[in-house]
Amino acid sequence: MVKETILTGIRVNGELTLGNYLGALLPMVRLTNKYSAYAKANVFVPDLHAIITDIDGSLKANLLKSIKYYLAAGLVITPNVSIYRQSYIPAHSELTWILNCFANMGEVSRMIQYKEKGDGKDSANVGIFDYPILMAADILLYDAVYVPVGKDQFQHLELTRNLAERFNHRIGRDVFTLPVATAEQAKFMGVKDGICIRDLQNPEKKMSKSTAAENSKIMLSDAPEAAAKKIMSATTDNVSKVQFDMFNQPGISNLLQILAFIRNQPLSEVAAGWAGVTQYGEFKTAVAEEVKGFLIDFQARVAEISDEEVLSALENGEKKASKVAETKLYEVQRAVGLR
Ligand code: TYM
C-alpha cells in the first residue's frame, strides 16, 4: 500500500491541452483517489511558474479553472488531500533560493525545456532558466515521493533527485526525501515509459499549448464537435494496420493511447480490440467520438463547479500545506546555518 506523498502541479498559462489532462491531471486524480486513505496527496497550482511566460491578465481566472478541472476529473477531497496555490506559501520561493546555491549552471543549462522555451536567446528571462529549481522546491518541501508528470518533465525530476542527494550529502544527513526515479514513476502511473500525448499533425512532437496550429492540439475548452474534426484530420501513415508502434506509426499509436487513457483501459487491450483493422476511417471515427463524448461530459461538470467552492478548497489546503512547508523550510534553514 502506497503511504508516501503524491504531488503534482500544472502551469496555468492559457487553456490546458488534452496532453496536460491525460499526461498529468487525470493520472494524479486517479492515483489520489486510489491512495489518499493512506497517503497524502498535494495538488497545487504553480502560479509562480506561470509568470515565466507572458503576463496577459488571464492568470487569476485560469487558476480557478485549473482547480475546477481536477474536480471535474473526479478528484475527491479527503483530509489527506491538499489543494493550494504555490505563491500563497512563501516557503516555495525561499527554498528555491537555497537550492539555487546547490545547483550548477551546467546541469540547469542542460534542461531541454529551458533550451526549448529560452531558445538559447540572451533575452530569455532568468525565470525560464531557474524554473526547474522552483519545481524541485515544490517537490522537496513536502517529501513527495511520487510525482505524476508527463515524460517531458522527467528530466526535471532527475534534477530534483540530484539536488536533494547533493544537499543531503553536503549536510551529512537526510534532510530531503528523494522522489523515486523516473522508471518507477512511470510504473506508478501504470505505464511502461512516461506519458507523451503527441501533436496531431506532427506526431513526432509532443502536443503543446504553445503550438500555433490549432489542428495540432485539443484544448479542454474546444467545442466537442471541433475536437472530433481535429481527430479525423490527424496525421496517420500508409501502413494500414491499427497497432501500437510509436516508432513507425506515431500518429496511429497516439490515437490508440488517447483512447486507452480516456477509457481507463490498458493500452494492450485497446490495441488488441483493433487488431486486423486496416481502415483508418473507422478507427479515427471511434477515437473522435470518444474525445467528443469526453469533452461534452467534462465541460458540463466544469460548468457546475462554483468559484466559491474552489476558493474554499484552496484556503483549507493552504492552511494544511503551509504547516508542512514551513516545518521543512525551518529544517533546511537550520541545516545551512540560517537559523
Ligand atoms: P507544464 O505546465 O508544462 O505541464 C503540466 C503537466 O502536463 C504534462 N504534459 C504532457 N503530458 C503528456 N503529453 C503531453 N503532450 C504533455 N504536455 C504537458 C507535463 O509533463 C506536466 O506533468 N514545471 C511543470 C509544472 C510544475 C510541477 C511542479 C510538476 C511545477 N512544479 C512540481 C510537478 C511537480 C510544468 O511546467 O509543467
- Joined together, the cell numbers standing for residue 87 give 505563491
* Nearest CA owner, ligand 1 atom 18: 20
Return the ligand 1 atom nearest residue 12 CA. 2
Cβ–ligand 1 contact at 47 (below 6 Å):
no
Cα distance from N-terminal residue to C-terminal residue, the chain: 37
Cβ–ligand 1 contact at 20 (below 6 Å):
yes
Cβ–ligand 1 contact at 10 (below 6 Å):
yes
Cβ-Cβ contacts under 8 Å for 26 (sequence gap 6 or more): 73, 261
Cβ–ligand 1 contact at 30 (below 6 Å):
no
pLDDT in tens, 105-131: 999 999 987 878 777 788 889 999 999
Let me know if 117 is a catalytic residue: yes
Residue 324 Cα to ligand 1 midpoint, Å, equals: 23
Residue 25 Cα to ligand 1 midpoint, Å, equals: 9
Rounded CA-CA distance 161/11 in Å is: 21
Q: What amino acid occupies position 98?
A: I
* Contact yes or no for 194/154 (Cβ under 8 A): yes
Structural domains in the chain plus CATH codes:
5-194+306-336 (3.40.50.620), 214-302 (1.10.240.10)
Identify the pLDDT of residue 154.
97
Identify the pLDDT of residue 124.
87
DSSP E strands, 148-235: none
Cα separations in angstroms, 237 against 196, 240, 255, 284: 19, 7, 12, 13
Residue 180 Cα to ligand 1 midpoint, Å, equals: 17
Cβ–ligand 1 contact at 217 (below 6 Å):
no
The catalytic position among 40, 68, 206, 292 is 206
* Nearest CA owner, ligand 1 atom 31: 135
**Which residue carries 533546511 as its cell?**
332
Cβ–ligand 1 contact at 194 (below 6 Å):
no
Q: Nearest CA to 40 among 87, 94, 3, 77?
A: 3
DSSP E strands, 46-143: 81-85
Q: Give the Cβ contact number of residue 74 at 10 Å.
A: 12
- Let me know the angle formed at the C-alpha of 28 by 247 and 133, rounded to the nearest 5 degrees: 80
Let me know if 68 is a catalytic residue: no
Q: Mean pLDDT in each 10-residue stretch from start to end of the chain (339 residues)?
A: 94 92 97 96 97 86 95 97 98 98 95 79 89 98 98 97 98 98 97 95 95 96 98 97 97 98 96 95 98 98 97 97 98 98
